[in-house]
Amino acid sequence: MDFQTKECFTAVLPVGAIEQHGSHLPVGTDAIIAEEIASRLAERLDAYLLPCVSISSSIEHRESKGTVYLKADTLALVIRDIAESLRYTGFKRLVLFSGHGGNWILKPTIRQLNRDFRERGEEMELILIPSTIALNRLHEIAKHVQGDLHAGEKETSLMLYLCPEHVKDIIPEEEPTAVPQDFMDYFDVTEMTADGYWGFPQEATADKGRRLLDLTVDCAVDFLDKIESERKRITAKR
């Protein structure tokens, strides 16, 4: 889609991360995955594909060399500025795909911005597609639906499919971490894991990665469709 045309109202923004992903995956893993999914999504939606916001909220990985992060409130402001500049030139919808599970701030950010735009009478809506959008159907592909949080079966599969040349040997863990994900609020990932990954990368295959990409894009499009149906239902009642 040529984004200069009057009919192009939607922009898609990949949000990645630059953070350690164990010794087998590159620090740009989340950015690489987010870019691929956002690009497929933009194609399906006939939308304007923006370049990736590669640096995001990765403070939990700060102890590993190569990790670069924005503080959460900085990321919120970056998203606000991107949405405001898009609205100024006529875009009405910004779809964010976050490849990094630690970007919790995106959720309250879009919830607030959607009200702010509405109250100012400005036509702009932000929609967040989290990296977990396919969670309910993950069992169709992955062996581990729970506890596969970082550089595990899912992300390693995606990278084996997208750029196998960047996937190195996995270092086996004698004692895999068994604490809840919320513990990242209190401890750095390097304190809780030996190699930095959290999950089951040894179960990864390129074929799982290929199917996971397709499933994620399908679930994202389905989510957007459901929002539109609900909007129609609410508008019809008025």
Q: Which residues bind Zn ion (CB under 5 A)?
A: 29-30, 155
Query: Which residue's CB is nearer to Zn ion, number 36 or number 155?
Result: 155
Name the nearest CA neighbour of 14 among 40, 158, 4: 40
Provide the edge-to-edge strand list for the sheet that holds 125-129.
Answer: 48-49, 10-15, 93-98, 125-129
Instruction: Please state the closest distance from residue 150 (CB atom) to Zn ion, in A.
Output: 6
Report the distance separating Cα 6 and Cα 109, nearest Å.
Answer: 28
Percent helix, strand, coil in the chain, to 5, is 50, 10, 40
Query: Which residue's CB is nearer to Zn ion, number 1 or number 194?
Result: 194
Instruction: Please state the closest distance from residue 8 (CB atom) to Zn ion, in A.
Output: 30
Q: Give the number of C-alpha atoms closer than 13 A to the C-alpha of residue 123, restricted to the C-beta side.
A: 6
Of all residues in the shown chain, the one whose CB is closest to Zn ion is 30
Instruction: Please state the closest distance from residue 28 (CB atom) to Zn ion, in A.
Output: 10
Query: Which residue's CB is nearer to Zn ion, number 1 or number 68?
Result: 68
Instruction: Please state the closest distance from residue 29 (CB atom) to Zn ion, in A.
Output: 5
Query: Which residue's CB is nearer to Zn ion, number 11 or number 53?
Result: 53
Instruction: Please state the closest distance from residue 6 (CB atom) to Zn ion, in A.
Output: 37
The three-point CA angle 26-79-16 to 5° equals 10
Report the distance separating Cα 9 and Cα 155, nearest Å.
Answer: 31
Query: Which residue's CB is nearer to Zn ion, number 132 or number 136?
Result: 132
Burial 141-153 (b: 16+ CB within 10 A, else e): bbeeeebbbbbbb
